[in-house]
Amino acid sequence: MSGLIPYVHWTIPDTSPQKSGRFYISSESPEKIFSEHREAISKAYGITERMPFYSFLWNRLWMDSPLSHEKMNALRAAFVEFHPNRSEESEMHAFLGALDTCLRNGFELGVSLSPPGHADLGVTTIFPHCPKCKLVNEWTFSAPLDDSARRCELCGTEFRPSATYSRQLWERPKDNKSTEKVRRILP
């Protein structure tokens, strides 16, 4: 039983073959990573002094794709000084390499955050969330009762909760010797 890991997925569409990867940081809070880089991050992301800097910061960093070069520079400066734990080291290293490649060659870097969810006994639940910034709307394990349109409190995107909610079971077919799992959509 565990929450799904909120990975940042990245892609460089301009390289051939296309380079992509993902990373996740569990060893440090965004507060620590970005405290020395607040000014550059704020400027690159348009975060004004009236906005609480750390509120939903992780969602904010990856909600617009591709990243502007100003954002890439600000992120690079912060992550270069960050020392991830050993299990996260190679993925972070690959992301820094991607930032360097894009900054050097003028390439675009596509980014997206994986949606908020939970996996338990083969059932994967994706909670209703904003399709743009992935901010969770409701931690519910069943279809949202109130499906009226709402506006995301971070990015202002309008969405219906049912559009991003899903529940799936991965199981082995009983009458089949295949080890391949099949997906069943749950209500």
- Interface residues toward Zn ion, by CB under 5 A: 130, 132-133, 135, 152, 154-155, 157
Q: State which residue, 6 or 93, has the beta carbon closest to Zn ion.
A: 6
In what helix (H) or strand (E) does residue 94 lie, and over which residues does it extend? Answer: helix 86-105
**Nearest approach, Cβ of 155 to Zn ion (angstroms)?**
3
Position 183, amino acid: R
Q: State which residue, 111 or 133, has the beta carbon closest to Zn ion.
A: 133
Q: State which residue, 94 or 155, has the beta carbon closest to Zn ion.
A: 155
Is there a contact between 166 and 187 (Cβ–Cβ < 8 Å)? no
Sheet containing strand 8-12, strands side by side: 19-23, 8-12, 110-113
**Nearest approach, Cβ of 61 to Zn ion (angstroms)?**
13
**Nearest approach, Cβ of 157 to Zn ion (angstroms)?**
5
Dist. CA 137–CA 9, nearest whole Å:
21
**Nearest approach, Cβ of 9 to Zn ion (angstroms)?**
17
**Nearest approach, Cβ of 168 to Zn ion (angstroms)?**
23
Residue 10 has which token pair?
A: 């990245």
Is there a contact between 58 and 133 (Cβ–Cβ < 8 Å)? no
Residue 16 has which token pair?
A: 């051939």
Dist. CA 75–CA 85, nearest whole Å:
18
Q: State which residue, 39 or 153, has the beta carbon closest to Zn ion.
A: 153
Q: State which residue, 99 or 133, has the beta carbon closest to Zn ion.
A: 133
